[in-house]
Amino acid sequence: MASLETVIFIREVIEVYPEHRQTILEKLFGLIDEIKNHLVLRVAIWIIGEYSISQSEVDQAFDSIKRNIGTLPIFVENKEEEAKPAEIEDTPKTITKTIILPDGSYGTETIVLDDPSKANAQNLSEDHIPLRKALKNADDDFLASCISISLTKMVVKCKKNLNIKKFNTMSMESALIICALLKNHKKSIDMNNT
């Protein structure tokens, strides 16, 4: 409760003292990696989405949220689908081609294109991220809606700042994140109805 009251106090300070907004936001961009409580995360993400105004602040805010969500998809449909790719893609995809060696003889070269063990290791390493963990474990749909609203606000602010290239990229990435969050919401509704 103390951390929730602290982040609410920070929200009030930003509102009352706008001259301290930039300093507080910069600290919050870094601290969002360490917040573990989903209620505190919800308020912190709302603050970031609401008070990031300049293009550099919007970029930092978007990057901090995206970094804490991790790679998509956030959720795996079921255990069977999770097991199937592991069985099928245990071996890395490789290309073997014939090359001419410096001495004029022929040899073969094997290039590894996609190593699933590295991809699985990356997904496992992302499960410790507090925001991703809160999205997976919490039955709090307000956190997902707060992320969606904050991402949408940042996309609109990016367009207002007339940065079309970043607007296109940010809007596409935001749409993908929001779709992943909606997919989980639909899955939780289906589970509750059965």
> What's 104's DSSP letter?
S
Domains of the chain, residue spans: 2-70+129-193
Q: List per-block mean pLDDT (blocks of 10 residues) for the chain, which spans 194 residues.
A: 90 93 92 89 93 92 91 68 50 77 80 60 66 78 91 93 87 92 73 64
Q: Report pLDDT digits (tens) over 85-131.
A: 444 456 677 778 787 878 878 888 777 776 555 555 555 567 788 88
Cis preceding-peptide flag for 92 (omega within 30 of 0): no
Task: Kindly report each contact of residues 17-23 with a partner whose C-beta sits within 8 Å and lies 24 or more positions away, as own/partner.
Answer: 21/51, 22/57
The rounded mean pLDDT for the chain is: 81
Q: How far apart are the first and last CA of the chain?
A: 34
pTM summary value:
0.71
